[in-house]
């Protein structure tokens, strides 16, 4: 991906290939400015790449919106709508009748921790509950692929741990393909089947790291040698990418 700027062309992404099998949970990690969000915007059809194609379920989806669910770090709940009416927004845009959309959403709200809050407005929710509502809205957009861009980045540590467990349960129940951006290496390891490590100037993929840790995962897995080895490798790559960016900037 190359952008035109007043100073000339800026290459945001070098040629980059990701091939993600259905139902996998993968994470992108890398320093700020390495192009993680640009990758998401291209996959979501919000940006058309300068070169290359995006295929989803074997179909060319380059520049096509509506093929993936996309959630940003901010929950972006509409303050004038109740929780249930926020959650059904994607279905409503797709033309699902309101009554049918609410009938589908209400059992999920009760099952996934928002029971009793269906008809309140977002200002009555905690940060974690707002993220639950936003994730359910993304899920109910009903695509095979969910792009989650640092959804837990603004949460406190304890709430983040609860949300990670909640997300894994949701992923297990619905068998979606999840692509997850995070700056938290331990979060990436705990959640993912594979981790894609990126570097910057231009943004590029430097290594794909498998996470061959059996599921379901317990919190104590972070104390195992396998987990620690994966973390050390990720940190080595991120440190090298950071140092290279500093040298180039100097």
Q: pLDDT value at position 23?
A: 96
The answer to whether the beta carbons of residues 186 and 192 sit under 8 Å apart is no
Q: How far is CA 18 from the centre of its chain?
A: 15
Cis peptide, bond prior to residue 216, ω within 30 of zero: yes
Q: pLDDT value at position 226?
A: 95
Q: Which residues of the chain have pLDDT under 50?
A: none
The pLDDT tens digits for 74-83 are 889 999 999 9
Closest CA to 36 of 227, 181, 183: 181
Q: pLDDT value at position 250?
A: 63
Q: Across-strand partners of 147?
A: 70, 179
The pLDDT tens digits for 41-91 are 999 999 999 999 999 999 999 999 989 999 988 889 999 999 999 999 989
DSSP secondary structure, the chain, as one string: -EEEETTEEEE-B-S------TT-EEEEE--TTSSHHHHHHHHTTSS--SS---EETTEE-TT-TTSEEEE-SS----TTS-HHHHHTHHHHHTT--HHHHHHHHHHHHHHTT-TT-TTS-GGGS-HHHHHHHHHHHHHTT--SEEEEESTTTTS-HHHHHHHHHHHHHHHHHH--EEEEE-S-HHHHHHH-SEEEEEETTTBEEEEEEE----SSPPGGGGGSHHHHHHHHHHHHHHHHHHHHHHHHH-
What is the phi/psi pair of residue 150, to 5°? 50, 55
């Amino acid at each position: 991906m190359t952008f035109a700027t007043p100073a000339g062309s800026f290459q945001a992404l070098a040629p980059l290939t990701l091939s993600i099998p259905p139902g996998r949970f993968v994470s992108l990690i890398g320093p700020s400015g390495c192009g993680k969000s640009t990758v998401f915007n291209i996959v979501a059809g919000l940006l058309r790449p300068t070169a290359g194609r995006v295929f989803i379920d074997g179909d060319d989806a380059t520049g096509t919106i509506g093929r993936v669910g996309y959630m940003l770090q901010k929950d972006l709940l509409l303050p004038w709508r109740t929780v249930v009416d926020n959650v059904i927004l994607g279905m409503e845009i797709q033309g699902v009748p309101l009554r049918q959309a609410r009938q589908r959403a209400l059992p999920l709200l009760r099952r996934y921790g928002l029971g009793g809050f269906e008809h309140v407005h977002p200002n009555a929710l905690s940060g974690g509950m707002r993220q639950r509502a936003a994730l359910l809205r993304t899920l109910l957009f009903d695509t095979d692929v969910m792009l989650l861009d640092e959804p837990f980045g603004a949460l406190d540590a304890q709430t983040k741990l609860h949300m990670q467990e909640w997300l894994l349960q949701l992923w297990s129940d619905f068998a979606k393909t999840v692509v997850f951006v995070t700056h938290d290496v331990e979060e990436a390891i705990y959640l993912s089947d594979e981790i894609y490590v990126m570097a910057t100037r231009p943004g590029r993929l430097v290594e794909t790291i498998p996470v061959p840790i059996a599921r379901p995962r317990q919190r104590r897995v972070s104390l195992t040698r396998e987990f620690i080895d994966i973390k050390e490798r990720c940190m080595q790559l991120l440190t090298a990418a950071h140092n290279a960016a500093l040298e180039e900037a100097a």
